[in-house]
Structure 1
């Protein structure tokens, strides 16, 4: 959590937090559908499909962190994996889009599984 002095020097704007969260959720929803397509084409079933989704969603969050968040955190000398300046918290950053993208994943997973196995 930033100190009061840090907030006075560099305030956190709520509109920016909402925009950042919306951008991450949109990315995770889009990739969830793409992961569903690939899981259906690969013929994954049951727990292996859900594990596939979980792993690749976390990889997507990690890539987003490396490309967009980490360079600015390094420049501002923040501790590693600190997302509090750009998101409401680390849990929201790493797992926020999992439930939002799950429906799209299942939809495209079952569609492409049915198309490939038919």
Structure 2
């Protein structure tokens, strides 16, 4: 949690937090559908398809962190993996979209699995 002095020097702006969350949500929605297409084309079934989704969703969050959050955090002297300045909570960043985007993944997964196997 930032101290009072840190908040006075660089305040946390709610509009920026909402913008960051919206960008991350859009990325997670797009990639969940793309992962569903990939899992369907590969013919993954049952647990292997869900494991595919879990691994690649976390990989996407890590890549997003490496490209967008880490350079600015390290430049500001923050601890690694600290997302508190840019998102409401670390859970929202790392795992918030897993359950929210699962329906889109399953929809495209079953669609493309049916198209390829038909």
Fold similarity call, TM over 0.5: yes
- Cα distance in 2 for partners of 1:99, 1:18 equals 19
In structure 2, what is the equivalent of residue 11 of structure 1?
Answer: 11
Greater shift after overlay, 28-37 or 95-104?
A: 95-104
- Specify the SS of the correspondent of 1:97: helix
Contact 1:69 1:83 in 2 (8 A): yes
In structure 2, runs of 5+ residues without a counterpart are none
Number of residue pairs matched by the alignment: 118
- Give the Å deviation of 1:45: 0.5
Question: Under a length normalisation based on structure 2, what TM-score does the superposition of the two structures give?
Answer: 0.98
Determine if contact 1:87/1:93 at 8 Å carries over to the other structure: yes
Where structure 1 has 5 or more consecutive residues not aligned to the other structure, the ranges are none
TM-score normalised to structure 1 length: 0.98
**Equivalent in the alignment of 2:105:** 105
Q: Which runs of 4+ in 1 moved over 3 A?
A: none
Give the SS at the match of 1:68.
helix
